[in-house]
Each structure stands twice: as C-alpha cells, then as structure tokens.
Chains A and B, each alone.
Chain A
C-alpha cells in the first residue's frame, strides 16, 4: 500500500517578530476604526467626544477626589468627588433612620433577600419548595425588621434605605404574581362580566403613571376606609405598588397563555380535568415558562419603580440620601450621593437584566 505523504509544510515559517500579533490586532482594529469613510468619521467624532468628556470625569471621580480621608475639611478643599462622605455615612445611606444599635437587623435582611434572589434565579431551584423557602424568609424578614419576640420593636415609620427598597420590590411582586395570574385568566374568560371587569382593571391601571397611583393610595385610602382599618404609609405604598405590578404581570402572563395551543386544553378536557386543575397542572406551568424573560423584564421595571415611593414620604434610598446630605458638618456632596444610589439600583437591575438575557438565550425552558 502506497503511503500518501501529507503536504505538511516543514519549511520554517517566516521569522515572526515578537510584536507581530500586536501588529496584526492593531491592523484589525485600524481596519475597524478607519476601514471606510463613515467609520473614520465616526471614530473621529466619538474619539473627540470621549477626549473632551472622559479626562475631566476621571479627574473628578478619582484623581482629584477625596477617597478615604474622613475629614470634612479635606472634602471642602478638594476639587474632586467626596467619596469619604459616602464611606462615613454609609450606615445612614443604606439603612435610613433605623435605630443605630439595631442596624445589623436590616443588614441581615438585605443579605437574606439578595442571597435568596441569587438562589432563586437558578433554573434548577424552580420547584414548589422555593415558595416555601420564600414564605419562611418573609416571616423571618418581618420579624427581623419589625421586632417582637425578643427583639426591640421598630415601627415601619423608622424603616429606611435599601431594605425598604428590597422588601417593597419582593413583596409587591410576590403578591402581584398570583393576582396577575387571576387577572390574566379572567381577561381570557368566556364570562363577559368577568372579562370586562378584568379589562377595565388592567387597562386603567396601565394607563396611569405609578406616581398618580401612589398619590391616590396615600390621599384616598384614608377617606375610603374607616379610621380603625387604615394601614400605615408603608402598607399604603405597598398596596399601590402591588396593584401596579399586578396589571403589568397580568399582561405578561396573558401573552404566555395565548402561546399555549388549543390542543393542550382539549387534552386536559379529554382527561376530565376541571377548570382549575387544567390551569394549575397543564396550562400555567407551560405558559409561565414561555414568558420568563418578559417576567424578568417586568421585575427590573419594578425594582426601578420602587424608587418612586419617596414622593409619598417613605424613607427609601433617595430620602435617606437626602437626609444624610442635610448634615451641616459636610459640604453636602449631592452628586456623589446620588451617583452611589444610582449605582446600587444599576447593580440590582443590571445583574437581573443579564440573567434575563441568559434565559432568553437558553430558549423556552422545557422539562
């Protein structure tokens, strides 16, 4: 048998200088940046913009900034940002007017919620047991924040900062989710009264700004309800957020319900399943799987929306920032404070958005 000699080139490659890879990548990026007239114009335009804006920003953010020196006088003297203020006031910024000696409690609550959120985003943990876990955690959170049973009692009027934001988000979505499912089912009902009720509820809530709903909740609830039943400010804001989230979640879930082929209903009917068991065992598990990316987006919107509760006098991150700024000992570094608060929100919703992307890439989950 004749051996076939493979045309392996044994000849030495042309001598490669050590900088050749760099040169190649430079050439590649040069082609990307200046390959066509349009690209060259874009590069010059954006390059000029960055050259004008980035160095002053960098000087303010880092180079001229006071980083750790906890002396307000240093901040007055510096021309850059005053990060030591954030550092010195971090407790007040994060936990608001919560009693200073008890700050470990809201800190624990924040860690608990974040850990649970991180745990819950794993597709592997989407089981009914997750609900039990959240229910237990919620009881623990209420106990830790509110006190009783051995802990000092802290009224909701002194809750503040990050835990308020996190609790409002999580609880509002937690209640709004089942309500949203009911509304979505009602909107697809064959009974006209039920359907019209759902349509009117969903569309009027979606047609209103959240701020106006928050205002209505804080102005109208005291008039609607007898004095004895009146919930406090925290619960009023929570009701408004829940109503708002329910309507949006209902529309997302309705999208999922519409994606379920008719055959699934017919199969369930052939098995003799009654309405609620059809929904619970056959339809909803599939419908919700389809819309998980959309649900994640709605949750991001809700995380951002909780920042609005400050206008009805709740002590969230923004209000605690404003309170910290009122300290006359410091030069009131407002831009730094709001940048810090914005960064917290950005971190929360950006990581959630990446998670939503991951779900979208994974495609509709199937068992």
Chain B
C-alpha cells in the first residue's frame, strides 16, 4: 500500500501534522506545569497596569506610572524612529558611495572602497560599541562644545541641532488630512473619473478651510549655548547618536554595493542605443538606465531595509531603549515572559512583513511587463 505515491504522501503529511500537534501539546503542558510550579500568572491583563519601569529616553512622552502597553508603544516608536532615520541617511549615502566607487578617480574610489570593506566585514555590534567608546575620547566636555556648523553643537553630552517645531490645530489638521485623502482618491481612482472635477473642487475647499482654521505655524528652534547648558534645539544623546551613526555607516556599505551592482548591470550598449535614438544624457538616464537599474536594485535594497529594522535591536549594546530592550525590561519586571515573547515575535513579523509587502508592491509596478 505504501508503494502508491498518493497514499504515501497522505501518510507522510498526516504523520507530520500529528508530530507537530503532539510536540506543541507536550510543550504547552510542560510550560503550564512550569508556570504553575513557579506561581507565574498568565494573561494580558497586566498591560493596563502601571509599569513603573524606567525608559531612559523616548521620542514619545513617557512617565513611569504609565501602563505597560504605553511603554511598549514608546519602545516601538523608538525602534521605528531609528530605523526610518537610518534607512533615509544610508540610502542617500549609499547612492553616493556606490557611484563614487565606480569613479575613475583612484583617491575617491579607494576611500569609498575602504568604507565598504570595513562596513561589510565587521560585526555591527562591535562597530557600535567601538563608536560608543570613542565618544568620550574624541568629543570635548560640554563647556567647550564643538560648533562645526551654525546651530550644531557636539560635546560629550551628545549633539544639539536646530529643531523645527510645527504648531497646528487639531481640527485644521484633520481637515487638511481629509483634503489629502480626497485628492489622492481623485488622482488614483479611475472608476470615479466622472466625478474628478467635483472632487478637485472639494479638495481645494477642504484644504482652504483646513488652512484657515489650523493656525498653522512652523518655527525653527535654534539652540543657544548658555555656558553650561543648551537652551532650545533638539538634543541627541550619545546613545542615540552612536546608533544612528554606527548603523548608518554599516548599512551604507551594503547599499553602496547594491547600487554599484545595479549601475554595472546596465550595459554600455544601453547608452549607445539611447544616443543613437537621439536622446539626451538626462533622458537616457531617466528613461533607460534608471528604470533598468531599479529593477535590479529594489529586491536586495528591500532586504537591506528589513535588516536595518532587525539591526536596530543592537541599540541594546549601548543602552538605548528600543522595542526589544523595553520588552526585555518588561519581561524581567512583570515575569509575563510568554506574553512578552508573543508580543516581540508578533511586532517584528508585522513590521518586516509590512516593509516587504510595500517593496513587493513597488517591485511589481516597475517589473518588466511581458506581453
């Protein structure tokens, strides 16, 4: 009977499913027995109780009497904040370094090559710890802070940069947001084409109403050095700055290699072909070279961006409270380890799936459409 391929496949699959269920059941019973033995309660009720944990810095406001769920949100916001900045910085720098590596200038290409090799061959955690140890060696005490650019100060206590502060009224912001949404629908939705002009008028009206009621104001908050302290501006602590600089250096190395590969993948024949069609240099770049390059670059770039989110967990090495560090504190403080682990797994999977599905959507848009 087992010689029949169909029967055999059904038997194997049933066996596998049974083994998985059996292992899961065994794990669950042992876990519950262990939890009971140690008197650990289980359930997500603890999330609404005051956490009393310390989060040393956060971009959202946090006080230690806030509930656990807010501590988690604050940690997640820190992770997203680091990841977004590192992705933005290293994309720009990676583009520059990658293209410069292809330059005929040996000085420029060589310097960029050293950067790429160092980034690609050292563990990011060692890079972060090394940079963190340099902080107090290289930078002066706050009293004689470096002032390389107007409004930018660097000292042992971190960077201080000018901050842009937006002031906007809630109702006005909501109206502007609604105008944006309506505008987006009018622009994209082809099935509503008949109502396009009405929607355009509606968008304009909403936008005007929103701007009128919003009391919109942007002010630049310039830091002022008062001899022992700074007034105004945005302070970046040594921990945050180390992570941003370190991860940017690291990720730039990888993105530069991706960009270089992308440029090299478009053959010189494509340039010749474009020139023979009478296109200008910028037209060739915009219409022929860049679209083909993007096709090669996007998939590896996407996995690099996901790596940035994953590498942001290394913040723990310098003591910056990212999501994983906050969760670790919560788990050791509340002893709700099972729930904590499920939250960790769920959040990272959700973050990375969101990123990769966004990239896949974009990838499908630029992929070759073969007819």
Binding site for B on A (CB under 8 A): 29, 32-33, 35, 39, 42-43, 45-47, 49-50, 190-194, 197, 204, 207-212, 215-216, 219-220, 222-227, 300, 304-305, 307-308, 310-311, 318, 334-335, 337-339, 341-342, 345-346, 349-350, 353
- Complex contact B121–A349 (CB within 8 A): yes
How far is B125's CA from A342's CA once the two chains are assembled, in angstroms? Answer: 10
Determine the chain B residues whose CB is within 8 A of the CB of A190 once the complex forms: 9
- For residue B164, CB closer than 8 A to chain A, the reply is no
Determine whether the beta carbon of B126 is less than 8 Å from that of A345: yes
Number of residues from B at the complex interface, CB < 8 A: 56
List residues of chain B with CB under 8 Å of any chain A CB: 9, 12-13, 16-17, 20, 27, 30-31, 33-35, 100, 103-108, 111, 117-118, 120-127, 129-130, 133-134, 137, 306, 309-311, 313-314, 316-317, 324, 328, 331, 337-338, 340-341, 344-345, 348-349, 352-353
Interface residue SS majority, chain A: helix
Q: Do A223 and B338 touch across chains, with their CB atoms under 8 A apart?
A: yes
Task: Tell me, in angstroms, the Cα distance from A197 to B21 when the chains sit together.
Answer: 12
Q: How far is the CB of B4 from chain A (nearest CB, A)?
A: 14
What are some 18 contacts across the A-B interface (CB < 8 A)? A32-B106, A39-B103, A39-B104, A39-B105, A43-B108, A49-B111, A209-B313, A211-B310, A211-B324, A212-B348, A223-B338, A224-B30, A304-B122, A304-B123, A311-B316, A335-B134, A342-B122, A345-B126
Other 13 A-B pairs with CB < 8 A, given A215-B328, A223-B337, A318-B126: A190-B9, A194-B12, A194-B16, A207-B306, A209-B309, A215-B324, A215-B344, A223-B338, A226-B33, A308-B314, A311-B316, A338-B133, A345-B121
A-B pairs, 3 with minimum CB distance: A334-B133, A209-B310, A193-B13
Within 8 Å by CB of A32, from B27, B105, B121, lies: B105
Closest Cβ–Cβ distance, residue B76 to chain A (whole Å): 13
Nearest CB of chain A from residue B153's CB, rounded to whole Å: 19
Given A223-B338, A226-B30, A300-B121, A46 and B344 touching (CB < 8 A)?
no
Report whether A212 and B107 are in contact in the complex, using a CB–CB cutoff of 8 Å: no
Most A CB contacts (10 A, CB to CB) among B121, B316, B344 go to B121
List of A residues within 8 angstroms of B127 by Cβ: 342
A34's nearest neighbour on chain B, judged by CB, is B105
The smallest beta-carbon distance between B356 and chain A, in angstroms, is 8
Q: How far is the CA of A304 from the CA of B137 in the complex (A)?
A: 26
